[in-house]
Amino acid sequence: MTQLSEDERQELLRHLKRKWASLNTAYQKQPLSMDSDQKKHRKEEIERLLAETEKDISTLERGWVAGWRGHGVGGGGGAGLCLHSPAALGEHAFWAL
């Protein structure tokens, strides 16, 4: 895992806010009538992505620890953004933003 600089954190926040705006626009363009399973599933998927993005934005705005997890790190086996509260890392909170 690597530490995100303040510039990287701000860029990630900008990206997440743009993503949220795009998802919100797509959500608002959904028809009022959900007359097919495909429309219902699409609406539910957009709602899930909006909630996930809102959580990520909130976490980064609180200054939580953020880092990039590479292959096999953390037991997850994949790559992606890791978000941890400084308290969760205890004495290893040297990644705090």
DSSP state of 77: -
Whether the full predicted model's pTM is greater than 0.75, yes or no, is no
d(CA 77, CA 79): 7
Nearest C-alpha neighbor of 65 from the set 34, 30, 33, 92:
92
Count CB-CB contacts under 10 A for residue 56: 20
Condensed to tens digits (0 to 9), the pLDDT of residues 18-69 reads: 999 999 999 999 998 889 999 999 999 999 999 999 999 998 888 755 454 4
Q: What six digits make up the tokens of 60? A: 């980064």
3-class state of residue 34 by DSSP: coil
3-class state of residue 76 by DSSP: coil
